[in-house]
Amino acid sequence: MKYSIRMRAAQGGPHENGGHHISGAERILAKDELASAAGELLLRALHHSKGEADFIRLTVDAISPENIHYMPCLAIDSTYHTTPEETQESAIRLLSAHGISEKAVRTALHTLLSRNTTMRGAMIIDCETGERLDTLEDRGIRVSHLGFANPLEASLQLAAAGFTGDHIKEALVLASKVLAAPGVVGELCISDDPDYVTGYVSYGTTYHRLAPIKELGNPFGGRLFFVKPNTDLFALRHYLEEQTILVKSPTIIPTNETAKEASQSPTNITHATLQHELQQELADLKTRAVHRSLTTYTPINGARAQANVRTYLMMTTNNYLGLAQSAALREAAAKAIKIYGTGSGGSRLLSGSFPLFQQLEENLAQLKNTEAALVFNTGYMTNVGVISALVHAGDHIISDELNHASIIDGCRLSRANIHVYQHNDITSLIKVMAALPPTGRRLIITDGVFSMDGDIAPLPALLDIAHQYQAWLAVDDAHATGVIGDGRGTAHHFGISNDPALIQIGTLSKAIGSEGGFVCASRLVIDYLINKARSFIFSTALSPADIGAALAAVQSLLTAKAPVKRLQQAIQTMTTALAEAGILVPGKTEAITPQSHLVTAASPVVGNATEPPQVVKKAQNFTPTPIFPIIVGSAERALAVANAMKEQGIILSAVRPPTVPQGESRLRLTVTADHSEADIRYVAQTLKTVLTQQL
């Protein structure tokens, strides 16, 4: 639990009775920091440069963690001048370069400077006209409920950069909160302390200190909050006065001087040594058989591709329904190009949101049974954007140990605390949840179908836990959409209906046969992501061809069941064929022999000369996904088997560390709706032969 402690001090009795305002301050602190803060605030009121307070009111109230929002701190920049006039001109230039009209700044600054009473709060100013919009007279808007998330850390960071004292600390927090307010585009502040002549303007992500902004000894100050026309003043005031905001510790940008010094500092890494280092690292990857390179394939359909005039069976695509080469999607993409052109030309929030987006998002929401959906440019960007928007420093992500790299990267980018639980292990998850501290948002995240193992997350149990521990549950259905649950994904597979705690992520690039990613959730969460997900906000929108094709695919998933049925049939056929070939695949096949517990997945059972062939059958824990992990052990062996298969006209991938753990290198074999029974039997038989040779 956090506590807000506020101090208001005046001379000549309380403010309400005409007392003269001396000082006000607020901290948000842990319980054991309250007593010393109270002492410090009292001292401030009793020894103030504006006089000794004879009225001091201290207020303390508890704030429950779910009502606290966290946000980043503005970056500090500084400019110094010789006279207040120069400084004020500099303030006008800075603000008018950042979305506020010059006239507005001049007008408002004039209003502020020509007052001869001090305001206790800020004026709200129209950023186009300079007109004052609030009607709160001398009181103005009083920003409160704010502080640093970690006051000690913030003080130390600031001190390390040469910034000390309460003025900058309090102003930086206030400015960070104000600039994040709905409608606010900038701020100007002049201290009312007669001996404090440093003020600031803020805009974008910058807190720009300016001195001297007034003459020494001048007891008048004030704040101007510039807002866009038509800003909802009621909502703005509520946010500024009521919403608790904790600001993360600042990262200090170097001033012009220190930046110059840094660029001239000597380095022991020259371009020549750098080149040598890179070559060494690549050579090292090759010796460990984990070097990667690109091969060009010309796709034919979901089952075949050409390379160097040879046609291969493609057993490693995520084009699970073969839609990427279907006539219907080609036509839909071509039609979209004819109508809307080849590029979107801007981010979704600017000019890039052509009409097909809305249709696609409505259809995606319908597919996943949610209120709303939002399309991103890739699945990777969806995970990174959604995670880093929903949780921040001080929050908690609880993540399955085998989650996809894009989830891991999203977790890191969010700066939230990351707690990893054992793969699909509910007991392990509960242990993590029970040990979480009471503060911070909570996000449990899992792949729906795991990309390397093909197994399915136990979503109903995960959702129960999410509810029990007040967490969101995000499921990444990259390999589940178009595949399980009638093609609707993991939630539908388990019969889970629309649930406000559930966030469904997916991709348009795999079974959907196009390009892009998406998230389906409540209208509220989607609106939040539109405003907060940086990978969404700062990307140019996908092109008409991508969206046209995706829309056709999603519409067909909503109506036609045939492609998903064909895929499910291919999964069954491959499972039977691999069992008949005596090949063990976790989640797909298992040995019937009494010693089955001795058979490890790393030594696939195939009929070879020294051991009697074992009987293999469909696994009891069979999972209906198109991913068949054939675990072969070392990276070298995985590569050797993949190369031998390629000679036989079959492409599958050798998946090696770091994608999978050491010693679990595997062949990742996938089937699609386009693979015929004959294709599948040929693959299983060839695999048996090759594995026997390689044993």
Binding site for Mg ion (CB under 5 A): 192-193
Closer Cβ to ligand WAQ, 220 or 528, answer by number:
220
Is residue 457 a contact partner of residue 491, using CB atoms and an 8 Å limit?
Answer: no
Residue 467: burial class (beta carbons within 10 Å; 0-12, 13-18, 19+): middle
Is residue 380 a contact partner of residue 406, using CB atoms and an 8 Å limit?
Answer: yes
Secondary structure class of 356 (helix, strand, coil): helix
Q: What is the DSSP letter of 508?
A: S
421 contacts which partner out of ligand WAQ, Mg ion, none, CB within 5 to 8 A by kind? none
Q: Which stretch binds ligand WAQ (CB under 6 A): 59-67, 180-188, 220-228, 595-603?
A: 220-228
| C-beta neighbour count of 283 within 10 angstroms | 11
575 contacts which partner out of ligand WAQ, Mg ion, none, CB within 5 to 8 A by kind? none
Q: Does 119 bind ligand WAQ (CB under 6 A)?
A: yes
553 contacts which partner out of ligand WAQ, Mg ion, none, CB within 5 to 8 A by kind? none
Q: Which stretch binds ligand WAQ (CB under 6 A): 31-39, 135-143, 470-478, 530-538?
A: 135-143
Closer Cβ to ligand WAQ, 199 or 513, answer by number:
199
Count of chain residues binding ligand WAQ (CB under 6 A): 25
Q: Which residues ranging from 615 to 654 are in contact with ligand WAQ (CB under 6 A)? A: none
User: Which positions ≥6 away from 43 have C-beta within 8 Å?
Assistant: none
Closer Cβ to ligand WAQ, 183 or 517, answer by number:
183
Q: Does 118 bind ligand WAQ (CB under 6 A)?
A: yes
Minimum distance of ligand WAQ from residue 251's CB (angstroms): 16
Distance CA 548, CA 622 (A): 36
Closer Cβ to ligand WAQ, 72 or 657, answer by number:
72
Closer Cβ to Mg ion, 15 or 368, answer by number:
15
Distance CA 139, CA 123 (A): 9
- Residue 327, Ramachandran bin (φ over 0: left; ψ between -120 and 50: alpha; else beta): alpha
222 contacts which partner out of ligand WAQ, Mg ion, none, CB within 5 to 8 A by kind? ligand WAQ
Q: Does 239 bind ligand WAQ (CB under 6 A)?
A: no
Assigned token pair, 213: 């902004």
Member of 45, 73, 94, 122 binding ligand WAQ (CB under 6 A) = 122
168 contacts which partner out of Mg ion, ligand WAQ, none, CB within 5 to 8 A by kind? ligand WAQ
Minimum distance of Mg ion from residue 196's CB (angstroms): 7
Minimum distance of ligand WAQ from residue 217's CB (angstroms): 14
Q: How long a stretch of residues is the chain?
A: 695
Closer Cβ to ligand WAQ, 143 or 660, answer by number:
143
User: Which positions ≥6 away from 565 have C-beta within 8 Å?
Assistant: none
Q: 634 phi and psi, to 5 degrees?
A: -80, 160
Closer Cβ to ligand WAQ, 222 or 394, answer by number:
222
Q: Does 223 bind ligand WAQ (CB under 6 A)?
A: yes
Distance CA 41, CA 22 (A): 12
665 contacts which partner out of Mg ion, ligand WAQ, none, CB within 5 to 8 A by kind? none
Contacts 24+ apart (CB under 8 A), 195-203: 195/49, 196/167, 197/84, 198/167, 198/168, 199/87, 199/91, 200/171, 200/175, 201/91, 201/94, 201/95, 202/74, 202/175, 202/178, 203/94, 203/95, 203/98, 203/99, 203/100, 203/179
Distance CA 51, CA 47 (A): 7
Distance CA 655, CA 645 (A): 14
Distance CA 386, CA 529 (A): 7
Member of 222, 385, 440, 448 binding ligand WAQ (CB under 6 A) = 222
Minimum distance of Mg ion from residue 5's CB (angstroms): 18
Minimum distance of ligand WAQ from residue 167's CB (angstroms): 4
* Amino acid code (one letter) for 236: L
347 contacts which partner out of Mg ion, ligand WAQ, none, CB within 5 to 8 A by kind? none
Closer Cβ to ligand WAQ, 222 or 582, answer by number:
222
Q: Which residues ranging from 162 to 201 are in contact with ligand WAQ (CB under 6 A)? A: 167-168, 171, 189, 191-193, 196, 198-200
Closer Cβ to ligand WAQ, 223 or 492, answer by number:
223
Handedness of CA 299, 301, 305, 309 (dihedral sign): negative
Q: Does 148 bind ligand WAQ (CB under 6 A)?
A: no
The residue among 142, 181, 178 whose CA lies nearest residue 26 is: 142
Residues engaged in binding ligand WAQ (CB under 6 A): 118-122, 140-144, 167-168, 171, 189, 191-193, 196, 198-200, 209, 221-223
